[in-house]
Each structure stands twice: as structure tokens, then as C-alpha cells.
Structure 1
Amino acid sequence: MHAPATRWKTRTAKLLRTTALSLLAAAAVAGVGAGPALAADGDVTWTVRTASNSYGATRSSYSYNVNPGGTIEDGMVVANRGTAPLNLTVYAADGFTTESGQLDLLTRDKKSVAIGAWVHANAASVAIQPGKTATVPFKISVPANATPGDYVGGVLTSLTQPDQAEGINVDRRLGIRIKLRVGGELKPALAIEDFDVDYKCTWNPFGRGDATISYKVHNTGNAALSSQQAASVSGPFGLLRTKARDLPKTPELLPGESWQVTVPVKDVSPAIRLAATAGLTPLLTDASGSVTPLDKVEKTTHAWVLPWTLLLLLLVLIAIVVLAIRLGRRNRTARKQREEARVQEAVEQRLREQQQ
């Protein structure tokens, strides 16, 4: 039994001009799918799945290895599960990672430059009667000058329906992911950029505060990568180290993509000079789904931490010491002057007695 495909929905508002918003309705990862796309009134239902051929019979998505200049021919099976005839648009689009870490596909008004431009269906639309299925063949033509590495996109079926009540067009997209690895030298690489650490002190001059580490994970290589994260904050010479807990994996980033990370680190000692360290272990997934951890990437930044309550207490103590020293000197000077006056008075008294 074929795994169901991934569903995307696009809503286009009919105002003074047309605008398009793409919303991902399900996680677009291999082996995870969504149910059939449904119209608002429930009268339109269709499903898509991969065709059974030499590439496999139970695939949940398309995955290929091909050299520059190579071609691939495959197909998508579309089934009309509703009660009315369907006329669906068929097209391909490049993929990208959303701010929520999910895969989405460009809408038709956005220009695709990779898979969306290399995949060509035999027809731009498909008509299917109720209860029937149709196979849509497509061909992938990889340019001879294509850069080696990973590319992700999808082949889609789309149905646009007007919603008179809301004055909008609802574009329902149901598609299947395509992951393509173009032959050549694979250079997986992640970089940690825009690294910073911030520290918030407590009212307690001897208490611990909270640090916040922020950085950007940038896929600088040509392979799709996720990564295991690690982060910590320590004082000078690695003392008083505090580790961040339960850090999730970063989403799989396509070549060139970035992902912003903010890591809270609790109960950090205000050790005057803090060192924040972030580490990434890149995870490379091959066509069979096997995951290989790569060499760890690590970066460290520093920050001065001056707990103002402790600093204020220290200044008060210094002021008390300085005042005590000055008072001590003043008292010693006064005692000395009194002693000298007493001696002088005694001498003068003695001289007067001798004169008499």
C-alpha cells in the first residue's frame, strides 16, 4: 500500500490585487504524509502517490541520484475520491525550509531555479472522473552544468476554488517531495555565525543569573544537513561550566539556508569573564535513509559580566575601608598633636619652675 502524499494549501485573497500565502499542512519529510486534500464543503477529494515502476512500488517520496546532464522518467498516480469530475493543474516547484522548520514548496507565482525548473510533466493538467485514477508521467532533466549536491522540491497537483463568502480563492495543493542528489564531490558543511551571549544578573549579589546564547546555523556546503546541538557557558579556564539542556536537532537545511537559534542557559555563575560555546554535529542522510554524523563544528565567544549588585556591595566595602583608613589617620594625627601639646606644656612648665 502506498503511503499518502504531502498536502500544501495556498489561499489567494481577491482584494484590489491578488496576494498568495502558502501554508504547510503537514510535515514534508520522507515517510510522513498527510491525508487527502479536502475542499471546504467536502465535495472534492483526491489523493496522489508515487507510480510503481523500477524505482519502487511503495515509495513515500521521490529520491534520485543522477549525474549532471542526466535524465529521469517517473510518474505520479492521481485518484479522484470525490463525486464530481476533477481538472487539476500539474506543476513542479523548488522546496525551502520555513521558519517553523518544515519543508514547503514555492507557489506558482514564485520562480523556481532547480527542481521546479528541471521537472516537466507530460501535461500541465489532468482530468479525472469520480472514482477513477490517472498516471501523470514526468521527466527530470538535470542541466550539464548543474552544481553537485542536494536539491529538494516537489511535483504538485492543484485545484483553485472561489469562496464567495470570504471573497477569496482557495488553492489546494497536494504533492510529493522530490529529493535529488546531483553527482560530483559532496561537500557537507555547517557554520556557526552571528554568535552572541547575553547575561542577566539577579538581585542577590551572590546568586546565579541566566545566560542566553544566540547564533545562526548556516549550511555552507552542498548537502542537505540537520545537526545535533550542544551549548554551554563557563567562567575563566573552563571553571563553573553550565550546560544547556534538551537542545533539539536543527531542521534539515538545504544548501545555502540558515536557521536562527536561541538557547537559554539557566543558573550561570557571574564569573566576571564568561565563555559561551556552541557545538554542532552535522547529520548527513543518504538515499537509503541512513544517517551519518560528521565532525563537530564548534565556536566560542566571550562576554564581560559585572553583577551590579555585587559591584555596588564591593564599592560600599571599599568606601568603608577608605573611610576607616582616613578616620584612623585623622585620629592618629589628633593624638600625636595632643601628645606634642602635652609635652610642650610640660617643658614650658618645667622651665617656669626653674626660673622661680
Structure 2
Amino acid sequence: MHAPATRWKTTTTTFLRTTALLLAAVAAVGVGAGPASAADGDVAWTVRTASNSYGATRSSFSYTVNPGGHLEDAMVVANRGPAPLNLTVYAADGFTTDAGQLDLLTRDKKSVAVGAWVRAGAASVAIQPGKTATVPFTVDVPDNATPGDYVGGILTSLTQPDQAQGINVDRRLGIRIKLRVGGELKPSLAVEDLHVDYSGTWNPFGRGDATVTYRIRNTGNAALSSQQKATVAGPFGLLRATADDLPAAPELLPGESWTVTAPVRNVSPAIRLAATATLTPLLTDPSGSVTPLEAVTGTAYGWAGPWALMLLVAALVAVVVVTLRLARRGRARRKQREDARVRDAVAQALRGQEA
């Protein structure tokens, strides 16, 4: 029995033209958990890894090859439908989508790594209903290949016209290829463009919310995922608040980046906030074992004044100042009236003496 392969299934639609086919849309590629199949009406097929010296129950293709190395393997394609199939076969580089999923370049995009190093034994395969076909392929790593991790896939593709809609539908089904080129492995992640924004509350004695935003960049040569944590604290690390449990960042290939937005609740308006993002890189070896690496951190600062409280204090100060001024004016008026009364009394007494 073969384990279900780690596969891609995607659909590409293209407008029908007299002289050319123009790309219209590409659906996201998903990783199948069950038997991988592509079906449309009476067309269906599956793909799996071949059973050979590399293994009998593989979920995907995974190799470690030195620069200049060569290897041979195969994929098995089965026609589960009632009609003959003629499938195009090709390899493509992989990349991480904005949704954090691994996808493969479409056939019209140029591959420079796995998609260029993997060659299928034939550009197409014809399979009768109920039959299977073994598609051999080779991997030839250039002598000058940079050590590190590369991801791509080997794909089968079927293009069918839909005259009613005026489009071509291109369905792809493939298996992931993870390739580690021998040499010094330098796994490394970096936290970039970290900043924090604070949203206060009208409650002068309440707490607000902060948003910590940063970018994770794979600056090494190994594919890495990471556990992540984001915190916000006041001066001297006081009044610390932590973001709710953040999901693990997707596995990033060397050179790729991923933007994270982490909400942090119940943040005290401590005037000066320090936001810290902590990443624990996770390295997966060819056997599937995951090793956590030394944590990486980044820190940025932002303002979080207790504006409502400050407004309340300012209003109270204004009331006190006005009250003091009114009281001072009242005392001055009373003193003036008392001085006038004394002057009048003295003048009257002097007039009585003269008389």
C-alpha cells in the first residue's frame, strides 16, 4: 500500500482566442490529505510516488543531493475515469502564497531551481481507462548550486475547452519535491519592519488595545517555519501584555517573507510602549524531525498616552485655575469695598471734627 502523496491540485482557466490563449485566473493549490484525484465530468486521475529504493510509502519526494549530483525516481499516474487521458508532465518551482500555502509556478512562468533541475522522461503520458503509467524523472543539480533547501513539484496537467463559457480549463495534479543541496546549512530568520500602534479608550482609567506588525524574513538557506510571540510593555518592562496565542508562521523558503499582524488586548497607556516580537525557528530535517533553533527577537517603540485621563486632568486643572481666579477676584472686590468703607468713615469723622 502507498501512503497518500503530498500533492497539488489546481485549476487554471484561459480565454479562448483565435491565435492565442490568454491567462485569466489561477486557483490556489491545495495539499490533499486523501487519495489525490482531478475530476471533471468523466475525467479523473490520481498520482502517487513510485515504490523503489527511496521508499514504498512516501507522501512526497524528498532528497539530499550534493552539487553536481544526479538521481532518478518516478511518479505513478492512474486513470480512474472511463475515457483515455493524455496528460502533460512537467516540473515547476514552489513558492509560499500570501495565504501561507505552498504553490507551484504555472507552466508559463520560468523555473530556476527544482523546476529547471527536474526532467520528466516524457513531456506527456497517455493512459487508458483503469490503467496506470509510471512516469520516470531525473534530478540533476548544477555544480555551482548554492547549498540549502529548494522546493518544487512534478505535475500532470489536463487542458479542456469549455466552448459554452469561451474558456480553457487547465487542471494540475502533482507531488511536492523537497530538495536539500549538500553543503553548509545556515538557517536564519529575521524580524523586520516592526512597529506598534495603540488605540486608547474614552474611559480615563481603562486600558486600550495595541497592534504589533512585523515581517518575518528567511535570511538563511534552509526552509524554516517558526513559533511566534508578541508582547507590549511599558517603561522598564512593566505593565506587560501578550498577544493571544499566535499560530505558527508558515514554512518560508530562503529569501521569502511573511507579514504578521498581532493584536494585543488590555494594554496600559504607559506613555512609551516597547513592542517585542520573538520567533523560534523550526528546522525540519529530511526524516521529518523538527528541531527548534535559538530564538530571534525584534523590538520597536511607540507612544501610548492616557489621552482621556490627561484630558480629564486638564479639565480639572482648568476648573481649579478658574475657581482660584474667581476667588481671587472676589477677595479683591471685597477688599476694595472694605477699603472704600474705611475711607468714607475716616472722611466723615474728619468732617465732624472741623464742624
- The TM tier, using the shorter chain, reads over 0.9
SS in 1 for 2:327: helix
Normalised by the size of structure 1, how large is the TM-score? 0.92
Give 2:299's aligned residue. 300
**Aligned: 1:150 with 2:154:** no
Give 2:10's aligned residue. 9
- Say if 2:16 and 2:168, in contact at 8 Å, map to a contact too: no
Following superposition, the deviation at residue 142 of structure 1 comes to 0.7
One-letter identity of the residue aligned with 2:213: S
One-letter identity of the residue aligned with 2:22: T
- Say if 1:26 and 1:34, in contact at 8 Å, map to a contact too: no
Question: d(CA) in 2 for partners of 1:230 and 1:297?
Answer: 11
Following superposition, the deviation at residue 47 of structure 1 comes to 1.5
Question: d(CA) in 1 for partners of 2:240 and 2:174?
Answer: 48
Question: d(CA) in 2 for partners of 1:331 and 1:298?
Answer: 62
- Say if 1:36 and 1:45, in contact at 8 Å, map to a contact too: no
**What is the correspondence of 1:83-94 to structure 2 with a 5 Å cutoff?**
83-94=82-93
Give 2:318's aligned residue. 319
- Say if 1:149 and 1:222, in contact at 8 Å, map to a contact too: yes
**Aligned: 1:139 with 2:138:** yes
- Say if 1:7 and 1:37, in contact at 8 Å, map to a contact too: no
- Say if 2:8 and 2:176, in contact at 8 Å, map to a contact too: no
One-letter identity of the residue aligned with 1:36: A
RMSD: 1.9
SS in 2 for 1:311: helix
Q: Which piece of structure 1 moves more, 128-137 or 10-19? A: 10-19
1:159-179 superposed Cα distances (whole Å, 9 cap, x missing partner):
111122222211111111000
Following superposition, the deviation at residue 189 of structure 1 comes to 1.2
Give 1:26's aligned residue. 30
Following superposition, the deviation at residue 131 of structure 1 comes to 2.1
Question: d(CA) in 1 for partners of 2:348 and 2:102?
Answer: 105
Following superposition, the deviation at residue 344 of structure 1 comes to 3.8
- Say if 1:219 and 1:255, in contact at 8 Å, map to a contact too: yes
Give 1:66's aligned residue. 65
One-letter identity of the residue aligned with 1:40: D
Question: d(CA) in 1 for partners of 2:95 and 2:276?
Answer: 29
Give 2:200's aligned residue. 201
Normalised by the size of structure 2, how large is the TM-score? 0.92
1:264-292 superposed Cα distances (whole Å, 9 cap, x missing partner):
11222222222222111111111111111
Give 1:275's aligned residue. 274
Question: d(CA) in 1 for partners of 2:155 and 2:4?
Answer: 13
1:55-76 superposed Cα distances (whole Å, 9 cap, x missing partner):
1111111111111111111111
Give 2:97's aligned residue. 98
Question: d(CA) in 2 for partners of 1:68 and 1:40?
Answer: 41
Give 1:54's aligned residue. 53
1:92-150 superposed Cα distances (whole Å, 9 cap, x missing partner):
00001112111111110011010000001111111122222221111111111111110
Give 1:265's aligned residue. 264
Question: d(CA) in 2 for partners of 1:236 and 1:338?
Answer: 55
One-letter identity of the residue aligned with 1:18: L
1:281-306 superposed Cα distances (whole Å, 9 cap, x missing partner):
11111111111111111112221123
Q: Structure 2 regions of 5+ residues with no counterpart? A: none
Following superposition, the deviation at residue 347 of structure 1 comes to 4.4
One-letter identity of the residue aligned with 1:286: D
One-letter identity of the residue aligned with 2:109: K
Q: Which piece of structure 1 moves more, 65-74 or 305-314? A: 305-314
- Say if 2:38 and 2:173, in contact at 8 Å, map to a contact too: no
Following superposition, the deviation at residue 157 of structure 1 comes to 1.0
Give 2:37's aligned residue. 37
